[in-house]
C-alpha cells in the first residue's frame, strides 16, 4: 500500500471514529431523555459504553448503521400515574392517560422532506406507537414539519437533530432540576395558592428543557433550585 493509500485509509478511519463518537453521545442522550420522561429502559441500554456501541452498530466498512439504531419503550407505572386523569365526583371513571409506547429512530437520509416524514408518521400509526422521536443529521424542511400537526390526532411526533443531542442539557450545573407534576399535584398546587394556571410563570413548548421532557401545553413543572440560605427552593411554571 502506498503512502497516499495509507493516508486515505487513516483519514477514513479517523472520520469514522469521530462519527461513531458523535452518534454514541446522541444515543446516550436520547436514552437518558426517554428514561427521564418515565419510560422503561434498562441501565445497560442507557449507559452503553463506546466500545459496546461500536460493536453493536458499526458496519463492516467502519460506518455507523443508523437504520439499526432504533428502539422502543413502554411507560412505567409511575409515568401512568403522573399522566392519569384524577377521579372526581363529576368524573368517577376518567379516560385512560394519553400516553403509550414510544418509538425512536435515527434517520440515515441526508435530506428530510415530506416523503420521509409521511413514511415515519405512517409507520407510527400502523404499529400503534403513541409517540415517535425522529432524529436526523440535517434540518427538516418546513413543508415536512406541517405533517406533524396534521397527524396529531393519530400519533405524536417530535424531531431532534443529532447536534441537539450531543450534550444532555439537564446535566449542566446551571440548569435546575425540572419535575413534571401529575394532574392531581397540579390541581392541589392551584388550590393551595388559590391560583388559576394562567397566573403561573410560563415555560415555552420550544424551551430546550420542555422539549427534553416532552412537555405539553397546560402541564406544570416544578423547578428546584439551590439556595445559599434555604438549601433548596421550588418554583412552578405552566407550559404554553
Whether residue 190 is found in the same domain as residue 93: no
Whether residue 147 is found in the same domain as residue 42: yes
Region 57-68: what's the mean pLDDT? 88
By residue range, what is the domain housing residue 37? 3-166
Whether residue 123 is found in the same domain as residue 232: no
pLDDT at 151 > cutoff 80: yes
Share of the chain above pLDDT 70, in %: 96
Report the CATH number at residue 197: 3.90.940.20
Whether residue 146 is found in the same domain as residue 178: no
Whether residue 144 is found in the same domain as residue 175: no
Confidence of residue 4 (pLDDT cuts 50, 70, 90): low
Whether residue 112 is found in the same domain as residue 220: no
Whether residue 212 is found in the same domain as residue 118: no
- pLDDT (0 to 100) of residue 198: 93
Confidence of residue 5 (pLDDT cuts 50, 70, 90): low
Region 140-158: what's the mean pLDDT? 97
The mean pLDDT value of the chain amounts to: 93
Whether residue 161 is found in the same domain as residue 193: no
pLDDT at 155 > cutoff 90: yes
Instruction: Please identify, among 166, 181, 198, the residue that sits at the C-terminal boundary of a domain.
Output: 166
pLDDT at 62 > cutoff 90: no
Report the CATH number at residue 20: 3.40.1340.10
Instruction: Please identify, among 146, 166, 186, the residue that sits at the C-terminal boundary of a domain.
Output: 166
- pLDDT (0 to 100) of residue 1: 58
pLDDT tens-digit series, residues 179-227: 999 999 999 999 999 999 999 999 999 999 999 999 999 999 999 998 7
Whether residue 132 is found in the same domain as residue 42: yes
Higher pLDDT among residues 167 and 3, named by residue: 167
Whether residue 97 is found in the same domain as residue 10: yes
pLDDT tens-digit series, residues 103-146: 999 999 989 999 999 999 999 999 999 999 999 999 999 999 99
Whether residue 176 is found in the same domain as residue 160: no
DSSP line for the chain: --HHHHHHHHHHHHHHHHHHHHHHHHHHHHHHHHHHHTB---HHHHT--HHHHHHHHB-TTS-B-GGG--EEEPBPHHHHHHHPPPP-SS-SSPPPPS---EEEEE---S-B-HHHHHHHHHHHHHTT-SEEEEEESSPBPHHHHTHHHHTTTT-EEEEEEGGGGSS-GGGSTTS-EEEEPPHHHHHHHHHHTT--GGGS-EE-TTSHHHHHHT--TT-EEEEEEEETTTEEEEEEEEE-
Tally the domains of the chain.
Answer: 2
- pLDDT (0 to 100) of residue 22: 96
- pLDDT (0 to 100) of residue 2: 66
Instruction: Please identify, among 166, 186, 206, the residue that sits at the C-terminal boundary of a domain.
Output: 166
Whether residue 206 is found in the same domain as residue 145: no
Amino acid at each position: 500500500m502506498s503512502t497516499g493509500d495509507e493516508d486515505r485509509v487513516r483519514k477514513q478511519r479517523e472520520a469514522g471514529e469521530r462519527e461513531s463518537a458523535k452518534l454514541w453521545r446522541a444515543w446516550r442522550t436520547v436514552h437518558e431523555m426517554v428514561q427521564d420522561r418515565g419510560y422503561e429502559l434498562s441501565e445497560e441500554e442507557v449507559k452503553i459504553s463506546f466500545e459496546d456501541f461500536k460493536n453493536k452498530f458499526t458496519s463492516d466498512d467502519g460506518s455507523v448503521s443508523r437504520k439499526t439504531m432504533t428502539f422502543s419503550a413502554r411507560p412505567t407505572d409511575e409515568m401512568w400515574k403522573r399522566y392519569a386523569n384524577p377521579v372526581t365526583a363529576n368524573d368517577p371513571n376518567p379516560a385512560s392517560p394519553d400516553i403509550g409506547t414510544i418509538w425512536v429512530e435515527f434517520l440515515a437520509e441526508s435530506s428530510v422532506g415530506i416523503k420521509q416524514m409521511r413514511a415515519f408518521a405512517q409507520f407510527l400509526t400502523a404499529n400503534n406507537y403513541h409517540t415517535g422521536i425522529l432524529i436526523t443529521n440535517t434540518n427538516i424542511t418546513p413543508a415536512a414539519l406541517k405533517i406533524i400537526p396534521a397527524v396529531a390526532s393519530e400519533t405524536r411526533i417530535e424531531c431532534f437533530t443529532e447536534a441537539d443531542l450531543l450534550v444532555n442539557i439537564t446535566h449542566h450545573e446551571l440548569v435546575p432540576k425540572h419535575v413534571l407534576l401529575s394532574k392531581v399535584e397540579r390541581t392541589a398546587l392551584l388550590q393551595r395558592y388559590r391560583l388559576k394556571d394562567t397566573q403561573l410563570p410560563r415555560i415555552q413548548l420550544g424551551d430546550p428543557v420542555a422539549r427534553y421532557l416532552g412537555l405539553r401545553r397546560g402541564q406544570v413543572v416544578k423547578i428546584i433550585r439551590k439556595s445559599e440560605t434555604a438549601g433548596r427552593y421550588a418554583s412552578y411554571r405552566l407550559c404554553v
